[in-house]
Structure 1
Amino acid sequence: MITYKDSGVDINKGDELVESIKRKVKSTYGKRVYEGVGGFAALYEITADKLLSVGTDGVGTKLKIAQQLGIHNTIGIDLVAMCINDVLCTGATPLLFLDYLACGKLDLKTSESLIDGIVNGCKQSECALIGGETAEMPGFYQEDEYDLAGFAVGEVFKKDLIDGKKIKEGDTIIGLASSGLHSNGYSLVRKIISETDHLKMALTPTKIYHRVLSSLLKDHRENILGLAHITGSGFLNISRMNANFDYVIDNVPGFDEIPPIFSILKELGNLDLKEMYQTFNMGVGLTIVTDDPKNITASLNKMGEKYWVLGKTQRGSERIILKNNDIVLN
């Protein structure tokens, strides 16, 4: 049985780094920093009533699969998705995106394919690709290697901010379906699968939740109390909405309800279920906490969105309780 740590990724060490640098980071803050390191996106005051919501991310070693298969026109969607979905968790409207491409040797065809994906993602997010940087770095990257990073900015009125502070005991947790693995856990994925068909399945682009959330927020903003992007650390992201609660999941989607790549990984890697839920999104790409599940689910049904009513919140200490599987994540 292999674990994420066995593949070379130590999530706990990453968390320790964040904790260790918080004081240094906060020493740079001025009065207009509304919310800094720790959330899905940072918040910066631009007027008395409006905030910028900003986030940055990459695609991780999913890039290796794109490079191995020579498929470069979708990985840019992942880049935009990883940044935009974080910004969306504050209730913000996306405004703009910037990208950074580093490579060993600039290949025009590959680079244009990468930009095609980024443009696709920006169009899905209704934000402007307003700038970027390309760095050719021979001797640092191999000639056929590249890396990507992105930076997204959105805006939200203070009165419309979603920060999880209004979550109460007994609120409902709704999970929106993912398109697949999205862009996390790939160091483990690459240890397990090698067949081309499986790799192509793993390359499925990350779902961007802008349009569905835009519609929900237009009609139900006051009833959407928390949003969580399920990325690295899997279901543990749910508790980032509000640390004063446990999140009791009594309707975990079954393997037959989610993309087949998850069951393939479990079987070929002999993966422990707990390890999977704290590494992958397990078919749930974004969660919503609401006090009006009836109308939220009615809207999701109208849009044709796949979702699950996962469970409820209860007073606690950030635990994710998966009752179906007798698993507790914390």
Structure 2
Amino acid sequence: MSDAYKKAGVDLTAGYAALKTVKQLSGNDQLGAFGGVFPLTDQDLTDPVLVAGSDGVGTKLLVAIAAHQHTTIGIDLVAMCVNDVLAQGARPLFFLDYLGLGKTEAARVQAILTGVVAGCRQAGAQLIGGETAEMPDMYTQDHYDLAGFAVGIVSRQDLLDPANVRAGDVLIGLPSNGLHANGFSLVRDILFKQHDLPLETVLPELDHSLQEELLRPTQIYVESVWPLLAQHRIASMAHITGGGLIENVARALPSGLSAELALGSWPVPAIMTVLSRLGQLTPQDLRETFNLGLGMVLVVHPEQVAATLAQLAAVNQPAYRVGRVGVGETPVVFKEATHG
């Protein structure tokens, strides 16, 4: 390899080793070409359209770096992309990743890519390419950044559209796996800047360390939700990411209709209570920033509710009736749950 390039801080040999690693992990010997290839000949769809999504992991990466724990952050990356594609009604087909880092350390790169491959398998998507870029002047030795790109497919007439929603529809919430990968700038500010808590801290509300809680990987919903989409049981759907419940549920509704979420109708993870207490956050702060325990919200016509819940139960996917769609100009409102 070029001695001049190595003196500048870039180890091409390590990059080649990283490519070999991801080939072995994914089982795709075609990786390393100038572009990834995916055949569409076996897609038995009428008027098919491709749905693409791109995302990153945000400052959750800084928690992974501080913890020296990189094996699940790749799952977060895949999840953030494929869940967005799924929320449009599409089945994920393939995924590409970008890893930029200060130094290509083999064990760390393998851990990161192991997560990416695991996420792709959970999503039923093929990893067809990516890029690992060593940039010592861009990142410090221990830092890196991740970005991902997913593409799915669906018949045009089956694309989910807020226009499909009507008053009286039922909101079904699928639980998150904790914080997922959103709101971490606020999380880190509260826990590490305001309170200087070590990652090993076990708080009264939690039965495990902050490190374990914060690095829970984002749930991938493809396996449990795609069969519902294939059977046309879902009218619209919201992936709860940045902007929390309020912004994302609103994106799944047309103008003039309002999501009425019933407080207490689903379990809120203890980490939300921790952040509220330590950060003196208001309920509005929490709702605008975090998923509050719901990673995906499905909007379902009343006649489809029983079959939808039964199908989710059959695949061991927990689900909760969390509200209904009403008429109103405020896109998302929170109401006390009614009983009996």
**TM-score band w.r.t. shorter chain:** 0.7 to 0.9
RMSD: 1.6
Corresponding residue of 1:239: 250
Q: Is the 8 A contact 1:175 1:285 kept in 2?
A: yes
Q: Give, in whole Å, the separation in 1 of the partners of 2:49 and 2:264.
A: 35
Given that residues 87 and 94 in structure 1 are in contact (C-alpha distance below 8 angstroms), is that contact kept between their aligned partners in structure 2?
Answer: yes
Give the C-alpha shift of residue 308 in structure 1: 1.4
**1:263 equivalent in alignment to 2:273:** yes
Q: Displacement of 1:243 after TM fit?
A: 3.1
* Pick aligned residue for 1:310 from 302, 322, 325: 322
Task: Give a deviation string over 1:47-76, Cα, whole Å, max 9, x none.
Answer: 971100000000000000000000001000
TM-score, normalising length: structure 1: 0.80
Q: How many angstroms apart in 2 are the aligned matches of 1:253 and 1:94?
A: 30
Report if the CA contact (8 A) 2:100-2:132 is conserved.
yes
Larger radius of gyration: 2
Is the Cα–Cα contact under 8 Å of residues 103 and 137 in structure 1 kept in the other structure?
A: yes
Q: Count the aligned residue pairs.
A: 275
- Write out aligned runs for 1:1-330 (5 A): 49-193=47-191, 194-196=197-199, 197-218=209-230, 220-221=231-232, 223-235=233-245, 236-244=247-255, 245-253=257-265, 257-291=267-301, 292-324=304-336
Amino acid at match of 1:241: A
Q: 1:217 Cα deviation (Å)?
A: 2.3
> Percent of aligned positions with the same letter in both sequences?
42
**8 Å Cα contact 2:260/2:325 also seen in 1:** yes
The 1-side partners of 2:274 and 2:86 are apart by: 31
Q: CA deviation at 1:241?
A: 1.1
Higher strand content, 1 or 2: 1
Secondary structure of the residue aligned to 1:181 is coil
Letter in 2 for 1:233: G
Unaligned runs of 5+ in 2: 1-44, 192-196, 200-208
8 Å contact kept, 1:242–1:318: no
The CA distance in 2 between the partners of 1:64 and 1:273, in whole Å, is: 26
User: How far, CA to CA, are the matches of 1:264 and 1:58 in structure 2?
Assistant: 25
Once the two structures are TM-superposed, the CA of residue 110 in structure 1 deviates from its matched residue by 0.5
TM-score (structure 2 length as normaliser):
0.78
